[in-house]
Amino acid sequence: MKKIRDLMIMLIDWFYKPFQRLISIQTFRYGACGGANSAFDILLYFIFYHYLLGEKILHLGFIAISAHIASFLLVFPITFTTGFILGKFITFSDSELRGRIQLLRYGITVGGSILLNYIFLKLFVEYCHFFPTVSKMLTTVVVVTYSYFMQKYYSFKVAGNIA
């Protein structure tokens, strides 16, 4: 695991060189990890929406969930896990908080992300009539911005950071 982590950090840091005067290494690592996790999220969302659910409402007997919301709910646990691992071990590895505290705080932060995802997916798909995958991409921009600040100053807080 440590070798994979070190290799990922080395690779991300190699691409950082042209940007080092513009942004901090932590922000660049967050962008790289978040970008990779977001691309993974969108890819899974596309697959789940089009192929797993076949663009159809998911009927569970006691509730029916639209395909665009069901896809989000099914993909979420996967990208929650990958996002936490990347945040903890790549982006915010200097946090002194215990792992379980980080996980709890990350979960709270992600709760806000879920709410934002739900609101913006509903808005873009049902009221603006955008395609679901495009809506997911736009929603991701909003959620990533929120997420970065919450993770930096709350979930993976380092002594000296405001919060």
In a domain, 57, yes or no: yes
pTM, whole model, 2 decimals? 0.77
Domain assignment present for 121: yes
d(CA 74, CA 154): 26
Domain membership of residue 124 (yes or no) is yes
* Distance in angstroms (rounded) separating the CA atoms of residues 28 and 100: 25
Domain of 35? 30-155
In a domain, 51, yes or no: yes
Closest by Cα among 149, 126, 124 to 138:
124
- Per residue in 71-112, pLDDT tens? 989 998 999 999 999 999 999 888 888 989 999 999 999 899
In a domain, residue 9? The reply is no
| Residue 4: inside a domain | no
In a domain? residue 162: no
Task: Count how many domains the chain has.
Answer: 1
Determine, yes or no, domain membership for 17.
no
Task: Check: CB of residue 8 under 8 Å from CB of residue 90.
Answer: yes
Q: CA-to-CA distance for 141 and 133, rounded, in angstroms? A: 13
Predicted confidence (pLDDT) per residue in 13-63, tens digit: 999 999 999 999 988 999 999 889 989 999 999 999 999 999 999 899 999
